[in-house]
Amino acid sequence: METLVTSGVSCFVIQANMSFASLPKGRKVALTTLGVLTTGGAGLALMLHQSVKASDLELHPPSYPWSHNGMLSSLDHSSIRRGYQVYKQVCAACHSMEYLAFRNLVGVSHTEDEVKALAEEIEVVDGPDESGEMFTRPGKLSDYFPKPYPNPEAARAANNGALPPDLSYIVNARHGGEDYVFSLLTGYCEPPAGVLEFDDGTPATMSQVAKDVCTFLRWAAEPEHDQRKRMGLKLLMGSSILIPLIYYLKRHRWSVLKSRKIAYRPPK
């Protein structure tokens, strides 16, 4: 068997060499040049990336021990609820979350009745009605989070020319994820006491507020976070049963058939 495998590989190498040798001279030069340029470009890009990464001009945020960083760890849903409260009372004054609807909160941080009450707090322009006029109505579960400004120009005008970024996927859009956002939020001075009070009685310290809103933003960027890890756990459990079974079939069943020698003896 080893002789057959070795001879098969040797034949493949010989055929590959013969096919390259049989190419016209111009095509050989073009392929060689393409290979050299590709290798050199990849090496140059890697060197530039490493030089920039090691530069003193780039400051990486510290790595914090988030409770959801483990392979089988889920998000803290109480923290998600408090984080939404922080976003609603503080962050929503400047930042939008246009890809998140009220219905996404149901079963995650709030009950359906609670989310309906939250949605009804806003007024949504809808229509047209039967007479062709636009009208306002209370919000409902299918509505998306309201934007603080009607358009980007108004947002820039209210913030000295700077456009506040949308926070729907901000932890995926920034290097360091929630570590970056947490470091940014805790880099400011301590907020005045009494500005924010959590509904569940948790002390609203600066680090607690930053931690909760970062957990909320992680969930907003990856609503499938917990489900993905549950599916991964199911896959590992299934693989622990399937892989030994496949090994047994390969080692004790298929190997006998694979190494079997069939000899043809013509009738005399």
Annotated binding site: 91, 94-95
Long-range contacts, 116-123 (Cβ 8 Å, 24+): 116/140, 116/141, 119/143, 122/146
Annotated binding site for heme c: 91, 94-95
Q: Where are the alpha helices (DSSP H) in the chain?
A: 2-21, 25-53, 77-89, 112-119, 152-158, 170-173, 178-185, 206-221, 225-248, 255-258
The SS3 assignment for 20 reads helix
From CA 17, how far away is CA 227, in angstroms rounded? 50
**Structure tokens that stand for 206 in this block:** 């600066």
